[in-house]
């Protein structure tokens, strides 16, 4: 009996003492210089915080990061890789767009399935980084959703209430415009339009959007067409302001709202930190645009993270960074530094606005229209049509039906 106790004690000693020391030795053995490409300045603080935590474990790994302009990001990444000067780790939008799949096909993305510990991450999040049965990127456990930010002081001063139905929201736009204030800040970039289209669609027909989870409805059906027609009507009525077509991207859109030029903006949950930085004194809140029966929900998915360049000259260091990103420490740092809505119950929201966004959805989660579109057209052709032609709809160059019919044709093909 005593021998068994001694054996058990010895095994416990090995687990508690020797294995962490072995990990430390492995960490100490890894060195090198790696470069990382990110696509948006809103992630700068989170990336720096994760790098700092990583280097405490891997002090001999030197890291340089670069943030590239999103509009040109994919082209710049592909050019750098073709020239042999691509980064060791790089962001892609996973299966949401065609870029990661193309890089996997070209042998650029390292298969991380057996070299990274993904146990902290949900299967739904991992789907964003999968091609076939293999994982090629590390997702972030943020709930990347879309929300309506509003100026609380402006609402209080004018006696405006947060709407409880979509019809009330529509009426509120009229009321704000009649007050001489621009109701909504919106950029003319295809992604800015997407991030207002998706939550309004969920409000217009929550049953239709709930079916997106099983992907058994077509994304160009009548609810999608009706919603887009509604957004066009809002533009014609001046609810985005007379100069909204000159607002090139989300940065300008967020700045317009942050500097109190508009009463609201519909944007990504990740934009809250940017709005706050633009104006730390702004008293703003968030709500989910409700349906006419009062249903609310959040449209979104986990965010994609970094892939590893299979041609990295410091492949061990690059894999170590990817593995660190997949763990609880890095995931918590990223989500909380970003002030994001957590996509994992083990991570607590770090800001009141993130809590407000999460609570406003009341537990209903809708798969994004764009995500379903990408799955229904794996070649990326349908989403390319969206990006190319969506602004033409608002300019009156093509009709909503023509636009949706061209996307539908790409899905069929």
pLDDT in tens, 329-345: 999 999 999 888 998 88
pTM of this structure: 0.76
Q: Give the up-direction half-sphere exposure of residue 121: CA atoms within 13 A in the CB hemisphere.
A: 32
CATH superfamily of 32-142+302-349: Periplasmic binding protein-like II (3.40.190.10)
Helix extents (H) in 111-221: 123-127, 152-158, 166-178, 190-204, 206-210
Nearest CA among 378, 380, 387, 377 for reference residue 408? 377
Q: How does pLDDT run across 346-393, given as a tens digit for each residue? A: 999 999 999 999 888 876 889 899 888 988 887 789 999 999 999 999
User: What is the pLDDT, as a whole number, of residue 213?
Assistant: 83
| CATH class belonging to 145-301+353-412 | alpha beta
State the residue for tokens 């809708």: 366
How far, rounded to the nearest angstrom, does the alpha carbon of residue 288 sit from its chain's CA centroid?
Answer: 17
Rounded Cα distance between 65 and 80, Å, is 15
Rounded Cα distance between 47 and 69, Å, is 16
Q: How does pLDDT run across 175-232, given as a tens digit for each residue? A: 999 999 999 999 999 999 999 999 999 999 999 999 998 877 899 999 999 999 999 9
Rounded Cα distance between 225 and 200, Å, is 12
Three-state secondary structure call for residue 318: helix
List the domain boundaries for the chain.
32-142+302-349, 145-301+353-412
Rounded Cα distance between 164 and 166, Å, is 7
State the residue for tokens 């096909």: 105
Identical fold, 32-142+302-349 and 145-301+353-412: yes
| pLDDT reading at 58 higher than 60 | yes
% residues pLDDT > 90 (the chain): 76
Integer angstrom CA distances of residue 176 from 12, 101, 152, 204, 239: 67, 44, 14, 21, 9
- How many C-beta neighbours within 10 Å does residue 173 have? 19
Strand pairing report for 134-135 and 89-91: unpaired
Report CA dihedral (163, 287, 257, 263) to the nearest 10 degrees: 10
Strand partners, 296: none
Q: How does pLDDT run across 281-306, given as a tens digit for each residue? A: 999 999 999 999 999 999 988 899 99
Integer angstrom CA distances of residue 37 from 61, 70, 80, 126, 308: 16, 11, 11, 20, 11
Q: How does pLDDT run across 131-172, given as a tens digit for each residue? A: 999 999 999 999 889 999 999 999 999 999 999 999 999 999
């Amino acid at each position: 009996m005593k021998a068994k106790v001694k054996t058990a004690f010895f095994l416990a000693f090995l687990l508690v003492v020797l294995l962490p020391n072995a990990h430390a030795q492995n960490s100490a053995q890894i060195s090198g210089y790696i470069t990382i490409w990110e696509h948006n300045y809103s992630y700068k603080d989170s990336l720096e915080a994760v790098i700092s935590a990583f280097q405490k474990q891997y002090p001999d790994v030197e890291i340089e990061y670069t943030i590239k302009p999103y509009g040109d990001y994919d082209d710049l990444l592909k050019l750098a890789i073709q020239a042999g000067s691509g980064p060791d780790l790089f962001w892609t939008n996973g299966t949401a767009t065609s870029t990661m799949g193309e890089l996997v096909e070209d042998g650029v993305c390292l298969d991380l399935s057996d070299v990274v510990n993904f146990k902290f991450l949900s299967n739904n999040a991992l789907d964003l980084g999968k091609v076939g049965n293999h994982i090629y990127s590390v997702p972030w456990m943020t709930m990347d959703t879309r929300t309506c930010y509003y100026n609380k002081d402006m609402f209080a001063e004018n006696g405006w209430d947060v709407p409880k139905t979509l019809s009330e929201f529509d009426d509120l736009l009229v009321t704000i415009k009649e007050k001489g204030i621009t109701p909504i800040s919106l950029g003319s970039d295809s992604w800015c339009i997407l991030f207002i289209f998706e939550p309004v669609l969920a409000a217009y027909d929550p049953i239709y959007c709930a079916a997106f989870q099983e992907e058994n409805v077509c994304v160009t059906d009548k609810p999608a067409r009706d919603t887009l027609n509604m957004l066009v009507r809002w533009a014609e009525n001046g609810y985005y302001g007379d100069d909204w077509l000159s607002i090139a991207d989300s940065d300008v859109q967020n700045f317009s709202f942050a500097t109190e030029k508009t009463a609201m903006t519909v944007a990504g949950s990740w934009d809250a930190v940017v709005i706050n930085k633009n104006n730390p004194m702004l008293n703003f809140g968030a709500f989910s645009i409700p349906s006419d029966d009062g249903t609310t929900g959040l449209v979104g998915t986990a965010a994609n993270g970094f892939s590893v360049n299979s041609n990295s000259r410091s492949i061990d260091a690059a894999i170590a960074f990817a593995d660190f990103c997949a763990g609880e420490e890095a995931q918590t740092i990223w989500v909380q530094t970003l002030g994001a809505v957590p996509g994992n119950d083990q991570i607590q929201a770090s800001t009141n606005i993130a809590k407000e966004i999460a609570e406003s959805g009341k537990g209903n989660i809708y798969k994004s229209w764009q995500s379903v579109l990408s799955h229904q057209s794996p070649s990326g052709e349908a989403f390319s049509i969206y990006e190319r032609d969506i602004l033409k709809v608002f300019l009156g160059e093509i009709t909503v039906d023509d636009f949706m019919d061209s996307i539908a044709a790409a899905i069929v093909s």
